[in-house]
Amino acid sequence: MDQSSMEKLIIVTREPDGITTITINRPKSLNSLTRALMKISLRRSGRAFCSGVDLTAAEDVFKGDVKDLESDTVAQMERCPKPIIGAINGFAVTAGFEISLACDILIAAKGAKFMDTHARFGIFPSWGLSQKLSRIIGPNKAREVSLTSLPLNAEDAERWGLVNHVVEQGEVLNKARQVASAILKNNQGLVLKYKAVINDGLKLEMGRALALEKVRAHDYYDGMTKDQFKKMQEFIAGRSSQKPSSKL
């Protein structure tokens, strides 16, 4: 697939405020994934966020090198140091579900659904769904979602801790921008380090995770100059004089 074709299937919009929106633009195929399309996506064009792998290209997709992290969409998303906000409309099915789980924050429209169809079609999970979902919603609920291949609606997903916010149809991207704007108002260097310590700590048991936080906090403050401490104090003083928003 040539570069011009890829640019039509993956739409990247960079805005002056620092927010970048990446859209899968294959609505006629419900944004199903081919090997060439396996790139990061934050929202969708059409009726589905992502309906999974295009099964007409299944052999090409599934027989690729599973150790090739450069072509692994989810691995690349997990490497991204900046916060990734997923805007979910319609269905997020299997690979689309796994892409959703690689996001840091999820906003879903009322009526959105998450489906794991690995068991239905005989596809072995390789983008983390079998391990991540149980750690978010609990093993019993995760087993039901994955072994039945029945849809999980947005409202239950929010109640179980998978989705951050459920909003009206047409308001998903606005809510995602609102959350992104709130993040952008903060110290961006600390935002990146905070995301990293949260995500890295989740891979450890609690004692080691707390120790990791201590080490990184020490390294952070030990590396700051007097001028940086002064700027931090000025920043805090400036923010404290502003009335904070009551909610996201």
CA dist., res. 27 & res. 29, Å (int):
5
User: Chain centroid to CA 45: how far?
Assistant: 17
Sheet arrangement for strand 91-93: 91-93, 113-115, 152-153
User: Could you tell me how many helices (H) and strands (E) the chain has, helices first?
Assistant: 12, 9
Nearest to 33 by CA among 98, 77, 79: 98
What single-letter DSSP state applies at residue 53? B
pTM for this entry: 0.76
Q: Per-residue pLDDT tens, the chain, 248 aa: give them.
A: 444 444 466 677 888 777 888 876 655 444 444 444 443 434 444 443 444 444 444 555 555 545 666 667 788 889 999 999 999 988 899 888 999 999 999 999 999 999 999 999 998 998 899 999 999 999 999 999 999 999 999 999 999 999 999 999 899 999 999 999 999 999 899 999 999 999 999 999 999 999 999 999 999 999 999 998 888 888 788 766 665 555 56
Contacts of 50 (CB under 8 A, 6+ apart): 24, 30, 31, 32, 33, 41, 44, 91, 92, 93, 95, 96, 99
Residue matched to tokens 């916060």: 83
CA dist., res. 138 & res. 80, Å (int):
26
Tokens describing residue 2: 């040539």
What single-letter DSSP state applies at residue 82? S
